[in-house]
Amino acid sequence: MLDDVFAKTLRDQRRAVAVWAAGIVATVAVLAGLWPSVREMFDDEILGEFPEVMQRLFDMETMTTGSGFLNIELFSIVLPVVFITYGIGRGSRLIAGEEQDGTLEVVIVSPVTRSRILLDKAAGLAIGVSALGAALFAATVVASAVAGMGVPVTHAAIGAVAMVLLGIQHGWLALAVGAAFGRRGLAVAVAGVVAMVGYLLHVMGALVEAVAPWQPLSPFTQAVGAGPVSGDVPLGFLWLALSSVAFVSVAMPRFDRRDIGTA
């Protein structure tokens, strides 16, 4: 049964992972196709026409490098939204969604402990998000080579890991809220609000001096603050991982005790 819970979690997301991975690969390919034109178009004079706030927020002075171009066009907003959306959507469905559909009881009445069920589903979700990260990594490496972007393999790997950690963190938060309260809508709402607040904190911290001390608390800053497609592994990766584990750990006692099918 342990294998059944984990294997079912993987099976249920196979098609979704394939579709989302294809979308990620296509997006990277399109952006890579634009790179030669962007490289020739942008120079110091053109970059200077952008507002200083925008230059500082998106580190636009790096736009003429392959890594900087990907950071600004993909890894700052687009890919974080993709990975977070996938994580929240799947995480909210794994327990709360199954409970509301009436299919979770079949697993709950088995000899498997609820804690182990939660852990198996969390692991399955993490593997699904990691598969998207693998697709992103491969697409970035290939696109860089074909388009002459000059993105080192290690930089592409760090960028992919940043997106995976963001997806897992928000996905496990949605999973944890769903496990604790059995309501998928609540799980989506809580994780979605956390994502929006985190992004606002990331942006406002770069623009408003009074908010700057709080900016490191943002998951976005922890993941992409240093430019994810870079040679540095941010300390924020550790906080993303630890907070993800904390979400599931806190929800576990509540999931163990509560009556399934009731809020």
In tens, the pLDDT along 153-205 reads 999 999 999 999 999 999 999 999 999 999 999 999 999 999 999 999 998 98
pTM of the complete model = 0.91
Helix (H, G, I), strand (E, B) or coil at 51: coil
pLDDT band at 60 (very low <50, low <70, confident <90, very high): low
pLDDT of residue 58: 57
Lowest-pLDDT choice from 44-53, 141-150, 243-252 = 44-53
pLDDT of residue 42: 59
Query: Is the per-residue pLDDT at 57 higher than 70?
Result: no
- The Cα–Cα gap between 109 and 106 comes to 6
Do 211 and 205 contact (CB within 8 A), yes or no? yes
Query: Is the per-residue pLDDT at 46 higher than 70?
Result: no
Do 118 and 203 contact (CB within 8 A), yes or no? no
pLDDT band at 38 (very low <50, low <70, confident <90, very high): confident
Most confidently modeled range among 3-12, 51-60, 162-171:
162-171
Lowest-pLDDT choice from 21-30, 45-54, 124-133, 140-149 = 45-54
DSSP category for residue 64: T
Nearest to 259 by CA among 174, 177, 181, 173: 181
